[in-house]
Structure 1
Amino acid sequence: MASELFIGLMSGTSLDGVDAALVTFDHTQQPQLLKTHFLPYPADLRTQILALQHPTTNELETTARMGNTLAYLYADAVNALLAAAQVGAGEVTAIGCHGQTIRHRPELGFTMQIGNAALLSELTGITVVSDFRSRDIAANGQGAPLVPAFHQDVFSSKIHNRAIINIGGIANITYLSKAGDVFGFDSGPGNMLLDAWIKQHLGLDYDADGQWASTGNTIDPLLAAMLNEPYFAAAPPKSTGRDLFNTAWLNHYLNESQHAAHDVARTLVALSAHSIANAIDQHCGQVDEIYLCGGGAKNKLLQRELQSLMDTTSIATTDQLGMGVDWVEAIAFAWLAKKCITKQTANLPQVTGAKGLRILGAIYQA
């Protein structure tokens, strides 16, 4: 059993906390979720991570120390997960730790996720696999999205053409044709801009079910202007993050206009939905079924908006495929860790643009 247990840790661009998943792989090598744990980020930690998204004073030391802080937090998440599952650290082959993205600049040849994997291994006594994106970028790829290979393994159908849409801070799309083809890319902002906007105006971390945005009306000229962002028109392979879609980006389009805050919130939901729907129409061919995962899958307003734009396509969540929306990415990083440990390639050049298949991840042996 020891060789079959892996832990996946995911802390995404929404900065809400750490998703931890204990996963086993059966004889078919399909992941089976055994136990989960969520550890929220303290408010001050979230603020400090946000500050690191842009150049700051004494940035190198601040980043390194924040990496150590995250390692301790990740270790707490792992220990709580193991305690709940009544599993010892020695029974786990490896932890797949995505780390916290601070910069993602594939056009400049680098990406940075912090979390000090060496320290995490010391704190838990478990081998840690991290830095999954750098090897793909070194091979001239985008280093993202990485989950389409996992989606292909667990969600593909021989009957239906499917799109799997992960809506976190950024939204990414995986197209899985019934013929076996797979394609994927980041479509643009998911929850990121709406989260920042509601934090600024109501002091909340996110708009639960889109309730606040539901009280507003879409500002059509603002939506049209934002949809003219060149990223949306760019052809895949492409990936993005907070380096582009941030408060400064939004303020550029607002241009000191006096819009009601809840109307801007409603427009940001429309932006996410339209950019996803447009991307599917432009790049994914025929789609019979759409399955949502990530935090944005719980935003009922966003789901309704997307359904209205794609009224002939069935939209559901990955819960209906047997995998809870909150845990898809954490399970994916357990899967990626297993791929690395067993020396199997895990990137998809047709997705990232890399010049070939590569084994992803750096191993910190316990």
Structure 2
Amino acid sequence: MRVVGLMSGTSHDAIDAVGAAIDLRDNTIRVEIVGQLSRSYPERLRADLIAALPPGTVDLATVCRLDTAIGQEFAAAADRAVREFFDGTADLVASHGQTVYHWVADGKTYGTLQLGQPSWIAELTGLPVVSDFRSRDIAAGGQGAPLVALFDVWWLAGRPGRSAALNIGGIANVTVTGETPVAFDTGPGNALIDAAVELATGGMEHFDRDGMRASRGNVDGELLKAFLAEDYYRAAPPKTTGKELFNRTYLERVLRNHALPADDIVATVTALTAHTIADAIAPFAPDEVITSGGGTRNPALLRSLAERLGTAALRTSDELGLPSAAKEAAAFAVLGFLTVHGLAGSLPACTGAARATVLGSITPGASRLDLPESPSALPHRLELVSHVRR
């Protein structure tokens, strides 16, 4: 099955698209990544999206406009991917959409909202679309995140020792393999780093390119201690968080009593990300940490993280044949494949759900919707082949 996976994370900067040829052989799901692209949001749309995020408030007219505009951008990304990767003919689009709110209170998740109306994708491409992956897990009592856990567990099956798959997007999440795998959001990934850079530059820059600001700055111990006082870090997994908590307003509130040079602030929140990831992973004592996502492009962050991990080897997913920028889009391509085959896409041990569920909703394409026959058994291993240059 030829599947396009679409993902835009909590950095809200671009839509990542992956083309994957997926098939199921016995108990192994084989994923051949044939292409990857990234489509940046138009600046005006990105600004409108960020303005609508917590702690901002919006009316329903704005939500409707964003749902349409984001859906059209996802549709354009999918259409380009189908043409470039599959010569204009594919079978399925799996669209995560753009998370705008994840409703968490007192450690329980009550709802989630991803914008990017899938009908625009189905209409432009003519393909069926699987979307709204997180809601079903939440309805089953789970956190709705991290949903990449199943992909991680299958992908890393058979590796020696214990592995931790770490994705550093706006929020950082980790899956740790083992007899009973565990997965959860560790806290901010790039979210506070990006907010600190935007604060320092009046919005002219959106991220710390190559970790230059963090490298120039000094970590302030008192400010780091103030950040580490956040209760979220001491909550037990499964747990999830987002920019509902770790946003620019949060940053400004903590900075209120700390007058520091801009680069020192960036250096300190970069250290915060490294500290909280390493501290969250430490109880599980992994032998290796395999990282992906935008944070892999920040050498200062990776240096700080490597220093905190002790004996665990830090490597990127690129070293295992999976381009770090393609990881989450590839995971949702697999989840979409599972959905149309009637197979569960969640791991209750990782999300906290009462049971494993088939995820998402299906929007038909231009042709009659004929779903493939469900296999008799759920796969438990993932074989990955990538033709994307790293």
- Structure-2-length-normalised TM-score: 0.89
> Equivalent residue for 1:335?
334
SS at 2:144 equivalent: coil
> Equivalent residue for 1:278?
279
> Equivalent residue for 2:101?
103
> Equivalent residue for 1:196?
195
Residue 105 of structure 1 aligns with an amino acid whose one-letter code is W
Question: Matches of residues 340-355 of structure 1 in structure 2 within 5 Å?
Answer: 340-355=339-354
Instruction: Indicate how the Cα distance of structure 1 residues 287 and 122 shifts in structure 2: closer, same or farther if over 3 A, else same.
Output: same
Aligned partners of 2:270 and 2:188: how far apart in 1? 10
> Equivalent residue for 1:288?
287
Question: Matches of residues 223-238 of structure 1 in structure 2 within 5 Å?
Answer: 223-238=224-239
Q: Cα deviations across residues 65-113 of structure 1 (Å, max 9, x unaligned)? A: 111111111111112222222522xx32211101111100143611000
CA-CA distance at 1:257 after TM superposition: 2.5
Residue 127 of structure 2 aligns with an amino acid whose one-letter code is I
Contact 1:30/1:154 (8 A) holds in 2: no
> Equivalent residue for 2:69?
69
Residue 82 of structure 1 aligns with an amino acid whose one-letter code is V
SS at 1:350 equivalent: helix
Aligned partners of 2:350 and 2:172: how far apart in 1? 15
Aligned partners of 2:354 and 2:245: how far apart in 1? 25
Aligned partners of 2:86 and 2:355: how far apart in 1? 41
Moved more, 181-190 or 99-108: 99-108
Moved more, 22-31 or 186-195: 22-31
Contact 2:13/2:41 (8 A) holds in 1: yes
CA-CA distance at 1:157 after TM superposition: 2.9
> Equivalent residue for 2:125?
124
Residue 116 of structure 1 aligns with an amino acid whose one-letter code is Q
Aligned partners of 1:21 and 1:281: how far apart in 2? 32
Q: Number of aligned pairs?
A: 357
Instruction: Indicate how the Cα distance of structure 1 residues 291 and 58 shifts in structure 2: closer, same or farther if over 3 A, else same.
Output: closer
Aligned partner of 1:5 among 2, 6, 10: 2
CA-CA distance at 1:256 after TM superposition: 4.4
Instruction: Indicate how the Cα distance of structure 1 residues 56 and 312 shifts in structure 2: closer, same or farther if over 3 A, else same.
Output: closer
> Equivalent residue for 2:261?
260
Aligned partners of 2:308 and 2:210: how far apart in 1? 18
Instruction: Indicate how the Cα distance of structure 1 residues 62 and 32 shifts in structure 2: closer, same or farther if over 3 A, else same.
Output: same
Residue 339 of structure 1 aligns with an amino acid whose one-letter code is L
CA-CA distance at 1:131 after TM superposition: 0.4
Contact 2:2/2:86 (8 A) holds in 1: no
Moved more, 67-76 or 326-335: 67-76
CA-CA distance at 1:158 after TM superposition: 4.3
- Structure-1-length-normalised TM-score: 0.94
SS at 1:110 equivalent: strand
Aligned partners of 1:78 and 1:363: how far apart in 2? 16
CA-CA distance at 1:306 after TM superposition: 0.7
Instruction: Indicate how the Cα distance of structure 1 residues 58 and 231 shifts in structure 2: closer, same or farther if over 3 A, else same.
Output: closer
Q: Cα deviations across residues 215-256 of structure 1 (Å, max 9, x unaligned)? A: 000010111111110000000110000001011111221114
Aligned partners of 1:341 and 1:332: how far apart in 2? 15
Q: Cα deviations across residues 149-183 of structure 1 (Å, max 9, x unaligned)? A: 11111123342210110000000011012xx4321
Q: Cα deviations across residues 20-79 of structure 1 (Å, max 9, x unaligned)? A: 001012444221100111101122111111111137665211111111111111111112
Aligned partners of 2:241 and 2:199: how far apart in 1? 23
Aligned partners of 2:57 and 2:278: how far apart in 1? 40
Q: Cα deviations across residues 268-316 of structure 1 (Å, max 9, x unaligned)? A: 100000000110113x2x2111111000012111111011111311101
Contact 2:78/2:121 (8 A) holds in 1: no
Higher-helix-fraction structure: 1
> Equivalent residue for 2:85?
85
SS at 1:239 equivalent: coil
Residue 293 of structure 1 aligns with an amino acid whose one-letter code is S
Aligned partners of 1:69 and 1:308: how far apart in 2? 42
Moved more, 322-331 or 60-69: 60-69
Contact 2:109/2:138 (8 A) holds in 1: no
> Equivalent residue for 1:49?
49
Q: Does 1:307 align with 2:306?
A: yes
Structure 2 gaps, min length 5: 366-390
Aligned partners of 2:149 and 2:360: how far apart in 1? 16
Aligned partners of 2:10 and 2:121: how far apart in 1? 20
Structure 1 gaps, min length 5: none
Instruction: Indicate how the Cα distance of structure 1 residues 204 and 153 shifts in structure 2: closer, same or farther if over 3 A, else same.
Output: same
SS at 2:29 equivalent: coil
> Equivalent residue for 1:217?
218
Instruction: Indicate how the Cα distance of structure 1 residues 158 and 209 shifts in structure 2: closer, same or farther if over 3 A, else same.
Output: same
Contact 2:4/2:18 (8 A) holds in 1: yes
> Equivalent residue for 1:170?
171
SS at 2:324 equivalent: coil
Instruction: Indicate how the Cα distance of structure 1 residues 314 and 57 shifts in structure 2: closer, same or farther if over 3 A, else same.
Output: closer
